[in-house]
Amino acid sequence: MKTVEPASEFPVPRDERRQHTQERILCAARELFSRSGYDRTTIRAVAAAAKVDPALVMHYFGSKEELFGEAIRVDMEDVVVGPEEELADRLLSKLGDKLEAEPDAQLALLRSMLTHPQAAEGVRRALARECGQVVGSAIGGAEGALRAGLVSATTIGVIVGRYLLQLDGLKDADPKEITEILRPCFRALVDHGVEPKKTRAPRSKRRRAG
């Protein structure tokens, strides 16, 4: 008697399929941008590597400039989740990950960013979203956006100095040493007015003290 195997998987929701497709496109774009640079990477080549139609790449990302910005964007949503007084440490952890990454790939992306105005504009927009808005809101206060911009500028400066300029001392330094040296700087930028939880008095006690 012939048996029918039950379906092993449920249909994938449309939003999830779209997310998987976008991530596949971004993975292909990162690989091609790092290997071939901004000029020689085309939408058609990215689409072929991702096994999608070029029109779909344009539908999701709009232009090669926007695709480049998204490809090198660092998602900061997970960084801002957690205790306020540990925000600097989480930002430094992200920087440490970048410093541990493959140098050749970082170098190719940096060169594209610094030598092509379109690529630089894509990066600027991505940074405005992730650092200016996400991190700036987490820092808070009237100077939140400025402080987030200074964190971003410091991070970019370290990466450029290490991979592109290959500054003495910085190019061969251990990423953990770099982040430890930067820790007071990052804390000064993002922890303004944040009182550590271990020293923060309960609200009832603060009212009585007043």
Which pLDDT does position 24 carry in this prediction? 95
Whether 184 and 89 map to the same domain: the answer is yes
Whether 90 and 189 map to the same domain: the answer is yes
Over the stretch 148-171, which tens digit does the pLDDT of each residue have? 999 989 998 998 899 888 999 999
Position 190 pLDDT exceeds 50: yes
Q: Which band of pLDDT confidence, cut at 50, 70 and 90, is reported for residue 47?
A: very high
Position 8 pLDDT exceeds 80: no
67 lies in a domain? Answer: no
CA-nearest of 141, 156, 128 to 190 is 141
The dihedrals phi and psi of 200, each to the nearest 5 degrees, come to: -80, 125
Whether 84 and 186 map to the same domain: the answer is yes
**Total count of domains within the chain:** 2
Whether 29 and 88 map to the same domain: the answer is no
SS3 string of 32-69? HHHHHHHHHCCHHHHHHHHCCCHHHHHHHHCCHHHHHH
| CATH code, domain with 81 | 1.10.357
Mean pLDDT score of the chain: 82
Position 183 pLDDT exceeds 80: yes
